[in-house]
Amino acid sequence: MLDQVWWAFEGVLRALSNPLIAGGVVAGGVALGFGGRLVARRAGWRPVPSVLAGVWLGVVLGVTFSRTLPDWAGRDQFCLLNGFSVHGSAELLNVLLFVPLVFCAVLATRRPVAVLGSAVALSAAIEVVQPLTRRGVCETQDFFNNSAGAVAAAVLAAGVLAVHRRRAAAR
Residues 27-81 have pLDDT tens digits of: 888 899 999 999 999 999 999 999 999 999 998 988 888 777 666 665 667 888 8
Residues 92-131 have pLDDT tens digits of: 889 999 999 999 999 999 999 999 999 999 999 999 999 8
pTM of the model: 0.86
Rounded distance between C-alpha atoms, residue 167 and residue 88, angstroms: 40
Going through the chain in order, the beta strands assigned E by DSSP cover 79-80, 138-139
Check: CB of residue 8 under 8 Å from CB of residue 86.
no
Looking at residue 79, its pLDDT comes to 87
Looking at residue 136, its pLDDT comes to 83
- Residue 14 exposed, middle or buried by CB count within 10 Å (0-12, 13-18, 19+): exposed
> Angle at the Cα of 35 (from 57 to 47), degrees rounded to 5?
90
Tally of CB atoms within 10 A around 124: 15
Tally of CB atoms within 10 A around 35: 17
